[in-house]
Amino acid sequence: MAMQPAIADEQITSLLPRCQRGEAAAIEALYDLYADRIYRYLLARLGDADAAADLTTEVFLRVIKSIAGFRLDQRRPAASFSAWLYRIAANLVADHFRGRRRGVQISLDDGLSLAAAEPGPQRVAEQRETAAWIARGLARLSEDQRLVIIGKFGEEMSNAQVAAWLGKTEGAVKSLQHRALAALGRLLGAGEHDAEKAIFSSAHR
């Protein structure tokens, strides 16, 4: 998969005030900038193209509803806005899995037609457990560590792209990734390699 270019700070500082004023053209431009990234993130988390498309729409509905109150970090506008957007998406993923755990009543015909397409209960449980573990782990990281993990595994950026995105050196990005994976590994009760493997597997289902 070809890597997308990092979003420039200037794009966000230009679009955000216009979006907060409710300018339709700016909101559409923001959607065009992020929609594919958010869709790929959700598809990786859910493994379901239809659900990912639905939740992508829901993410941007929530953005439109809440963007007037969003306060941008002027030191790194693109990174802070992206982090906010991905938090919305991550919360929707958690809601999605909680809904599946509760379950819904479906007809026998619906159940038969979905049987081949839907992952089994064990697989759903495994996905939910992994997603919950990653969400808990990311919440415990520093903002810089969290953004590096999002950039490397969610956006599939190179170290150079993440460095440009965050305004840091490649060496700093490597150090942040190492510390983030080590922290996630401790939460998992395993090592850094196991943490990286879990995140990579979750992002490439």
CATH number at residue 47: 1.10.1740.10
pLDDT in 10s for each residue of the chain, 205 residues = 455 667 889 999 999 999 999 998 999 999 999 999 999 888 888 888 888 999 999 999 999 999 999 999 988 899 889 989 988 998 898 888 876 554 443 333 443 343 444 555 666 566 666 666 666 677 677 878 888 887 787 767 788 888 877 788 999 999 999 988 888 777 766 555 555 665 655 555 5
Which is it for the CA torsion 54, 57, 61, 67, positive or negative? positive
The number of distinct structural domains making up the chain is: 1
Q: Is residue 1 part of a domain?
A: no
- Its pTM stands at 0.57
- Give a yes or no: residue 4 inside a domain: no
What is the rounded distance in angstroms from the CA atom of residue 175 to the CA atom of residue 89?
Answer: 26
Number of Cβ within 10 Å of residue 194's Cβ equals 14
In a domain, 18, yes or no: yes
Residue 53 lies in domain? 9-203
Size of the chain, expressed as the number of residues it contains: 205
Please indicate, yes or no, if residue 3 is contained in any of the structural domains. no
Q: Does residue 2 lie within any of the structural domains? A: no
Measure Cα distances from 54 to 97, 115, 156 in Å. 14, 21, 22
